[in-house]
């Protein structure tokens, strides 16, 4: 889980007047006046240090946001957000035709009547399909019979969920995890219509189509079946913090009020969940924080039995478990920074019983495993790139799948069948559309099942070039950079260039294909991903060198990569753009403060920018179990360090780049007020005439608008913002 979420209690009880506007930021005679948010100074003192927050009043509680009639404070916030939306609409009104063209172009490349590659599970082929003119997927299945290929299946299609029907009447709709009971007759599914990632679980009788009366609110989404076809386990969230802290047992047909609490995580730095092993033999409750995990297991055919702790939690001990036969297989960092693979008997699971299967390697990060009857599949990362390794249990085979692109991403797909010798995996590069393959682990035969279709007669992967660069940054470390551009693009320093990065939580940002991105490349943009520290592309140390008291490395890496792109004549500061979202939005804010002259424009999506205030308030979503990522500012050392880079706290009087900031009013990860406050403060300090634009989607949360196509309206806005600065009008 990532820090895309801050939410704090309100402190101001004063009456707030509506926001006014001023003409101080008029860029020319055609520009509308920029909003000028009211200031209500609030002194916040920690460790003898006093900060004055003029915009603390913008924070609303969930109760205020959900109230049918807004109170005075809520109305003032709504008025301000409305003014900002009107301002950006006016400022970019001349790009309306370009936005429409971009949207039509992006959506036009997407196959409208598409279908996913079917996956076989318990005698059925499962898949999703889309119909032209509809926003949402239709979830289907067909009985497989004895056929091994979907094309040979003669069964009738069964529509399990038509999300288009379910979404009717809702501005936002998200379908959570769908899980079918062992007897294939009952479906558990979850729905969120607010975009706060608070799902209500429902059940459907697949033989009759009836929606059962059982209804479980405030869950993480989905439910896990026991083997008796009537008992499910689900995770409930704390209503205020949204921390996943309780696992309940529910029996169909009984009152939800009578559900049994089987586990509660009382440590506020941990979050929990429940799943079932691929072998179907065990139910598993996991609880985790950044640096520690703990598991409990229970036989799936004994749902009322006693859960057994696998290995008690220890500080800095990370592990994950998979079941196979008489053993559990354990991916762990026990005496292994880059992780190693162990195994242990099912009746003796503590770490003193663990036996090594794959040793630790300094240059290879072990990311995960997939277990089959005759094969072990290992997902690894070396030199910043994914690897898929296949080992037979009898020791006769140990090989890596080979790929040709200089920068790519690959990974195992959906492989629910334990007994098969076929591995489903996905592959993509910055020039190769997303592809699904079946690989016969015994013979080595590889079959392309489906490659993403780009609906454009002029598209060909041969039109584009991908590069993998290594940039030496200020402390001598070499940072990988994945670059793509249209063939024929010259390195003359005049190319518009978009640099993207994330750099937090150990999340590796892999070089993938995007048909959306073609709208930039075909207009002369160079696009690059900077694999900066804070991710895990180059191993576990890469992550550790970009968090806590080393977080500044993340920002320096990004700045230095940007400067290297200028030095290598890919672009110039007049044509260089930066983009990042969530914790990547924090990156954008920090780099804007420390290197405002490097970029012509910055796009910060749902940015986590009010670091100190967020991390000091343990009532908000995600805060308590992120202390190991950012530090706890109640400790003065961490407080001082956070303040040194916190974008909101480091805003200063200088000329900032042209900036577009986006957020969602219902965001549970990074609350809307963080970017709202940041933009208001930037307006106070920003020197010069560069644009500062802010858009709030009033119906969406952290992931933006729901639906297959509507979300690209925001993409079109972002692209039009950059293209307009480049003088590109069509």
Looking at 667, 686, 695, 724, which residue is catalytic?
Answer: 667
Residue 377 in tokens: 């599949």
Confidence of residue 710 (pLDDT cuts 50, 70, 90): confident
Return the structure tokens found at 646. 């916190």
What pTM, to 2 d.p., does this model score?
0.87
pLDDT tens-digit map of 240-290: 788 899 999 999 999 999 999 999 999 988 999 999 999 999 999 999 998
Instruction: Return the pLDDT at 621.
Output: 66
Which DSSP category does 100 fall into? H
Asked whether residue 145 carries a pLDDT value surpassing 80, the answer given is no
| pLDDT more than 90, % of the chain | 78
Spatial distance between the Cα atoms of 500 and 481, rounded to a whole number of angstroms: 10
Q: What number is the average pLDDT over the span 99-109?
A: 95
The continuous run of DSSP H or E covering 427 comes out as strand 422-429
**Cα(252)–Cα(205) distance, rounded to whole angstroms?**
11
196 has a pLDDT exceeding 80: no
Helix or strand run (H / E) with residue 541: helix 540-544
Q: Which tens digit of pLDDT belongs to each residue from 427-442?
A: 999 999 999 999 999 9
What is the pLDDT at residue 573?
98
Q: Are 476 and 505 in contact (CB under 8 A)?
A: no
Interval 542-563 mean pLDDT: 98
Relative orientation angle of helices 583-594 and 552-567, to the nearest 10 degrees? 70
Share of the chain above pLDDT 70, in %: 93
Which CB contacts under 8 angstroms, 24+ apart, belong to 162-165? Answer: 162/136, 162/138, 163/136, 163/137, 163/138, 163/139, 164/131, 164/134, 164/135, 164/136, 164/138
- The residue ranking higher by pLDDT, 62 or 384, is 384
> What is the gyration radius of the CA atoms in the chain, in angstroms?
26
Is 667 a known active-site residue?
yes
Residue 121 among the catalytic residues: no
In degrees and rounded to multiples of 5, residue 241 shows phi and psi of: -85, -15
For 354-401, the pLDDT digits (tens) are: 999 999 999 999 999 999 999 999 999 999 999 999 999 999 999 999
pLDDT attached to residue 11: 27
- Residue 582: active-site member: yes
22 pLDDT band, cuts 50/70/90, is very low
Catalytic residue among 2, 288, 702, 706: 702
pLDDT tens column, 286-319: 999 989 999 999 999 999 999 999 999 999 999 9
The CA distance from 453 to 300, in Å, is 41
Q: State the Cα–Cα distance between residues 560 and 259, nearest whole angstrom.
A: 55
Domains annotated on the chain, with CATH: 20-108+467-725 (3.40.50.1820), 116-168 (no CATH), 170-309 (2.130.10.120)
Q: Which of 430, 343, 419 is nearest to 385 (CA)?
A: 430
| The pLDDT of residue 346 is above 80 | yes
The length of the chain is 730
3 state SS of 355: strand
pLDDT tens per residue across span 325-341:
999 999 999 999 999 99
Average pLDDT over residues 665-673: 83
In sign, the C-alpha dihedral spanning 141, 142, 146, 148 is negative
d(CA 346, CA 335): 22
Determine the average pLDDT of the residues in 146-156: 73
């Amino acid at each position: 889980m990532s820090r895309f979420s801050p939410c704090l209690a309100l402190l101001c009880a004063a009456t707030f007047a509506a926001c006014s506007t001023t003409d101080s930021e008029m860029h020319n005679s055609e520009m509308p006046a920029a909003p000028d948010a009211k200031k209500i100074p609030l002194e916040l003192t920690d460790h003898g240090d006093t900060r004055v927050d003029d915009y603390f009043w913008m924070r609303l509680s969930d109760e205020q946001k959900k109230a049918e009639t807004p109170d005075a404070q809520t109305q003032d916030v709504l008025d301000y957000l409305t003014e900002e939306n009107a301002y950006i609409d006016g400022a970019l009104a001349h790009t309306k035709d370009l936005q429409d063209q971009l949207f039509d172009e992006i959506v036009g490349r997407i196959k409208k009547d598409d279908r996913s590659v079917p996956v076989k599970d318990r005698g059925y082929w499962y898949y999703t399909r889309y119909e032209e003119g509809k926003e949402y997927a239709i979830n289907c299945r067909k009985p497989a019979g004895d056929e091994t290929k979907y094309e040979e299946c003669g069964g009738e299609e069964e529509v399990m969920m038509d999300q288009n029907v379910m979404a009717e009447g809702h501005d936002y709709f998200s379908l959570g995890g769908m899980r079918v009971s062992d007897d294939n007759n009952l479906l558990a599914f979850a729905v969120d219509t607010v975009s706060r990632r608070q799902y209500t679980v429902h059940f459907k009788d697949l033989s009759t189509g009836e929606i059962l009366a059982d209804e479980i609110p405030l869950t993480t989404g989905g439910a896990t079946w026991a083997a008796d076809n009537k008992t499910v386990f689900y995770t409930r969230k704390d209503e205020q913090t949204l921390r996943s802290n309780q696992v309940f047992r529910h029996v169909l047909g009984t009152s939800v009020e009578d559900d049994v609490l089987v586990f509660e995580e009382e440590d506020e730095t941990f979050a929990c969940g429940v799943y079932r092993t691929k072998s179907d033999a065990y139910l598993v409750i996991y609880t985790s924080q950044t640096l520690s995990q703990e598991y409990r297991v229970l036989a799936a055919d004994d749902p009322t039995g006693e859960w057994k702790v696998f290995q008690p939690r220890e500080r800095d001990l990370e592990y994950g478990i998979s079941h196979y036969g008489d053993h559990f297989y354990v991916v762990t960092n026990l005496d292994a920074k880059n992780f190693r693979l162990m195994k242990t008997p099912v009746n003796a699971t503590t770490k003193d019983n663990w036996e090594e299967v794959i040793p630790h390697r300094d240059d290879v990060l072990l990311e995960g495993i997939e277990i089959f009857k005759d094969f072990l599949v290992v997902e690894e990362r070396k030199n910043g790139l994914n690897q898929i390794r296949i080992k037979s249990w009898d020791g006769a085979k140990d090989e890596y799948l080979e790929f040709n692109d200089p920068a790519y991403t690959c990974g195992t797909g959906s492989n629910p069948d334990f007994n098969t010798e076929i591995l489903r995996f996905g592959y993509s590069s910055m020039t190769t559309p997303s592809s699904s393959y079946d690989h016969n682990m015994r013979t080595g035969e590889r079959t392309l099942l489906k490659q993403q279709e780009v609906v454009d007669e002029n598209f060909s992967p041969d039109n584009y070039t991908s590069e993998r660069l290594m940039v030496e940054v200020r402390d001598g470390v070499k940072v990988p950079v994945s670059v793509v551009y249209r063939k024929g693009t010259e390195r003359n320093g005049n190319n518009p260039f978009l640099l993207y990065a994330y750099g937090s939580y150990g999340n590796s940002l892999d070089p993938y294909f995007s048909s959306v991105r073609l709208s930039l490349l075909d207009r002369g943009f160079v696009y690059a991903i900077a694999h900066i520290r804070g991710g895990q592309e180059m191993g576990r140390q890469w992550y550790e060198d970009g968090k806590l008291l080393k977080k500044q490395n993340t920002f320096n890496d990004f700045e230095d990569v940007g400067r290297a792109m200028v030095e290598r004549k890919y672009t110039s500061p007049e044509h260089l753009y930066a983009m990042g979202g969530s914790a990547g939005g924090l990156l954008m804010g920090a780099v804007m403060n420390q290197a405002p002259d490097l970029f012509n424009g910055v796009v910060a999506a749902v940015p986590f920018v009010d670091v100190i205030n967020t991390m000091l308030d343990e009532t908000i979503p995600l805060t308590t179990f992120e202390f190991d990522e950012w530090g706890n500012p109640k400790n003065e050392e961490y407080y001082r360090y956070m303040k040194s880079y916190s974008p909101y706290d480091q805003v200063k009087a200088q000329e900032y780049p042209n900036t577009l900031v986006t957020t969602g009013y219902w965001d549970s990860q990074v609350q809307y007020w963080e970017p709202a406050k940041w933009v208001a403060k930037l307006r106070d300090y920003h020197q010069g005439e560069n644009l500062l634009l802010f858009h709030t989607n009033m119906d969406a949360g952290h992931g933006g608008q729901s639906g297959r196509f509507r979300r690209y309206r925001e993409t079109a806005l972002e692209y039009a913002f950059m293209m307009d600065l480049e003088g590109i009008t069509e």
